[in-house]
Amino acid sequence: MSDIEVLANHACFDGSLRFVRHNSQALGVPATFGIFLPKEALAGQKVPVIHLLAGLTATQETFLIKANAIRFAAEHGIALVAPDTSPRHTGIKGEDDSYDLGSGAGFYIDATSEPWSHHYRMETYVGEELPALTERLYPLDGTRRGIMGHSMGGMGALLQALKYPDRWKTVSAFAPICHPSTVPWGQKAFDAYFGGDPMKWQRCDPTLLLRSKHTHPSTILVDQGLMDQYLADLCPDALEAAAKEGGQSLELRRHAAYDHSYWFIQSFIADHLTHHAKGLSA
């Protein structure tokens, strides 16, 4: 395989939707991402960009296909970049055994414990390698870069924004895992990826980051459905309390009839694109 391979290229809303495979240095295996380039980018104009982080079991296609984000990104002249949710085919024993650990469940963190630490480095991939690569290949303005996510990806978006506020000008999330160190999803992943070291959990828990005064200069937009089947494991109230304690501007919107699905995301995705468009044009 060459270093960069375009797997598919589709015309979409007067722009181009592409799926690209490359040899990832951070992950140590080939990785695939999706990218939407609006018509302005195809004409050579540098455009703002939002990175989309999907949830458990998803791939680089999921957010782009299911969220209806492309329609509104095209209206605002914004590019979208969607990574896969984990490394794939690393040869690690057991990586395909469960939906919430290993393949499809990278949790957007850098593992420090064997055998995961050699490949499961999604924090570095999402925060450093992928932006650098896409901004080298395409006319994307790295000074106008936002991040958005759903569920596990919402957790990842919050982590990136709170730990590296200089990298991301805007941030939003749908039904993020807000306090992973206290719920089974996070505890299972953190035990494996960090070897059970609780000090490393703190650096990858959005609620604990806010409590330790890690903040983002923008307002964080979060939408949460109150009919979400995973609500007890998402802990939005803990995030809200920590934001108030840490001085973080947070708009947490609760929606009575909505669940955890992409139907929920589709219902409010236009608001999120507007939120990012305003921040990225400021």
| Positions marked active-site | 151, 228, 260
Strands (E), 127-219: 140-150, 170-174
Picking from 158, 7, 138, 4, the residue whose alpha carbon sits closest to that of residue 81 is 138
In sequence order, what are the beta bridge partners of 21? 5, 32
Query: Rounded to an integer, what distance in angstroms lies between the CA atom of residue 258 and that of residue 234?
Result: 14
DSSP state letter for 101: B
Tokens 């420090």 locate to 112
Nearest 10 degrees: Cα torsion 150, 212, 279, 127: -60
Residues 99-123: b if buried by 16+ CB within 10 A, e if exposed: eebbbbbbbbbbbebeebeebbbbb
- For 208, list phi and psi in degrees, rounded to 5: -70, -35
**Which 3 state secondary structure label does DSSP give 211?**
helix
Query: Rounded to an integer, what distance in angstroms lies between the CA atom of residue 183 and that of residue 66?
Result: 27
- First-to-final CA distance of the chain: 41
Beta carbons within 10 angstroms of residue 241's beta carbon = 15
- For 72, list phi and psi in degrees, rounded to 5: -80, -30
Query: Rounded to an integer, what distance in angstroms lies between the CA atom of residue 145 and that of residue 166?
Result: 10
